[in-house]
Amino acid sequence: MTAPAGSLCSGVGMLDRAIETLFDVSTAWFAEMNPAAATVYAHHWPGLPNLGDITAVNWGDVDPVRLLKAGFPCQPFSAAGRRDGSADERHLWPTAVLPAITTILPPVVVLENVPGLLRIEHGQVWGQVLADLDRLGYTVAWTTVGACKVGACHHRHRLFVLAVRDTAVPTPDVTPSACRQGEAWAPVQDVLFGDTESVRWPDAGMSRAGVVWPLPAGVCANHGVLFKTPTSQLAINGGSQHPDKRKAGGHGPTLADEVEHLLPTPRATDTGTPGRRAPEGFRPPLSQVLMDLLPTPRVSADRTGRSAITGSSSSPSLAQALEIAAGVLPRELRSWEEAPPAWQPAGSVDPGRFGRYEAAVRRHEQTFGLPAPEPTEPIGEGQPRLSVRFVEWMMGLPAGYVTDLVSSGRGRPEGMISRNDAMKALGNGVFGPAATHALMSLPTFGAAQALLAARPLAVAA
């Protein structure tokens, strides 16, 4: 018998799709306040009740479920925001998610957020989440995984949590790293000496009955030419030492250097406005990368395209871009082009229409069986902008999952959404294959399967 599941902060259902492929569950209700996201969700799960604002729900009146999933808002903890943490009104754990869990007490809970949740306020916010779940009798396991780890052409590191009301999950064969004292946690070594400094939470771990154990974590892909494991020197903006300043005989490029060979992850604020550049020192958004990468055909472009561009600092014409791909356009005519990198990873492919991102795009295609659509689309007088279909593809969704509901006109018919709404929904979404990989790797996965397969006890009349 399929177990019922509930979904909080549902978005367009990317996490829910992953959950339903892993467990024998069927979503019974969802909760999403954004009208556009709710429209997409209702299209794929027709007829389900939408609880709306989860801070106003009386959970005692809601149909019980055996699995509760929540990708609660990440803005309070994300490096892309102000990082107001527990002071942010969008911190819905204590005001909405925890009350739902406390009342329903589902056997299985799945959470998703950004890795910053582990670090914000010296780990105290995550410590409170762990303490709350621990107090309710859950064995909690978590890990941090990037979309790149499962073959995506972008990073998108995310925290995934799988908690079960089961005390039989085997404990890791490692030394515990922290223990609970009331609502607070302290490092085990420090507790021995009476010190209760904040815990630095590992990227992956498990907690039960007031004890935390670290687990191995494979956050980022490291399978050849494109990726390295993150180091403590990796800044938020992906910066590292300039190639020319590295010590001779070093160990090659760092993650910050190699990240250039992956496309930037789609984000909710990326509307694809042409001409906007990121501040110096920060990586450009996806829209700008693709504007620089693949020009849109225009009527005015001649056969070579050189006369309109030579000597300028703008992007190349389509004709020039094609000549670059074919290797026939001399470098002296590429006035817009950046200086070549000081290193070139072994085994990299010749640039095609995706330039230095070619290998990452092709790997994404092969891994998920989804051919890449055109990354840009024309607007106005041939001006390019980021294609929603390309962002949809980057997020591992089948073609049309969101874009079939995008209306091109100003007056949107019922059941349709705007392009900007679609961009925002995709930028806020969960990369499903990464969620699947992460949850399956956790020690609580087998217990979750067993709990959901078990028939609930009948209540006597």
Tens digit of pLDDT for each residue in 290-348?
655 544 343 333 333 333 333 333 445 544 544 444 444 444 444 434 433 333 333 33
pLDDT at residue 229 in the model = 26
User: Measured between alpha carbons, how far is residue 359 from residues 224, 351, 352, 440 in Å?
Assistant: 11, 8, 9, 27
Residue 233: Cβ within 10 Å count? 11
Give the integer Cα–Cα distance in Å for 202 and 187.
Answer: 12
Higher pLDDT pick, 88 / 418? 418
Average pLDDT for 61-72: 94
Structure tokens at 317: 């014409």
Give the integer Cα–Cα distance in Å for 147 and 75.
Answer: 19
For the chain, give the mean pLDDT. Answer: 75
129, 186, 123, 116: which is closest to 163 by C-alpha? 129
pLDDT at residue 75 in the model = 67
Amino acid, single-letter form, for residue 70: A
CB 318 within 8 A of CB 384: no
pLDDT at residue 283 in the model = 57
Structure tokens at 156: 């998108």
Instruction: Give the CA dihedral 346, 348, 349, 351, nearest 10 degrees.
Output: -120
pLDDT at residue 261 in the model = 60
CB 125 within 8 A of CB 117: yes
**Please, what's the b/e burial string for 136-147 (b: 16 or more CB within 10 A of its CB; e: otherwise)?**
eebbbbbbbbbb
Dmax (CA) of the chain: 85
Size of the chain in residues: 461
Q: Nearest 5°: CA angle at 73, between 70 and 76?
A: 140
Over the stretch 265-292, which tens digit does the pLDDT of each residue have?
777 766 655 444 444 445 567 766 665 5
Give φ, ψ of 249 to 5 degrees: 75, 20
Give the integer Cα–Cα distance in Å for 193 and 13.
Answer: 47
Give the integer Cα–Cα distance in Å for 355 and 375.
Answer: 12
Give the integer Cα–Cα distance in Å for 437 and 434.
Answer: 5
Residue 371: Cβ within 10 Å count? 9
Structure tokens at 304: 């070579």
Average pLDDT for 39-54: 96
Give the integer Cα–Cα distance in Å for 331 and 310.
Answer: 11
Over the stretch 372-426, which tens digit does the pLDDT of each residue have?
998 888 876 667 788 899 999 999 999 999 999 998 766 678 889 999 999 989 9
69 membership: H or E segment, kind and range: strand 67-70
CB 15 within 8 A of CB 435: yes
CB 196 within 8 A of CB 186: yes
Structure tokens at 326: 């074919």
Q: Nearest 5°: CA angle at 437, between 434 and 442?
A: 125
Of the listed ranges 75-84, 227-236, 371-380, 422-431, the least confidently predicted one is 227-236
Over the stretch 119-141, which tens digit does the pLDDT of each residue have?
887 888 899 999 999 999 999 99
Decide the pairing of beta strands 25-31 and 3-8.
parallel
**Residue 64 reports pLDDT greater than 80:** yes
Higher pLDDT pick, 330 / 367? 367
Q: Which residues contact 202 (CB under 8 A, 6 or more apart)?
A: 177, 214, 215, 217
18 membership: H or E segment, kind and range: helix 14-22
All structural domains of the chain, each given as residue ranges with its CATH number in brackets, are 3-221+431-453 (3.40.50.150), 243-415 (no CATH)
Q: Is 398 helix (H, G, I), strand (E, B) or coil?
A: coil
Structure tokens at 305: 């395209």
Decide the pairing of beta strands 157-164 and 178-181.
unpaired
User: Measured between alpha carbons, how far is residue 226 from residues 199, 256, 260, 293 in Å?
Assistant: 32, 11, 9, 19
Of the listed ranges 131-140, 225-234, 242-251, 315-324, the least confidently predicted one is 225-234
Give φ, ψ of 82 to 5 degrees: -85, -10
Q: Which residue has the tokens 């892309």?
A: 80
Q: Which residues contact 104 (CB under 8 A, 6 or more apart)?
A: 6, 59, 62, 64, 65, 68
Amino acid, single-letter form, for residue 372: A
Structure tokens at 322: 């094609």
Over the stretch 183-212, which tens digit does the pLDDT of each residue have?
888 888 754 444 445 788 999 999 999 999
**Residue 31 reports pLDDT greater than 60:** yes
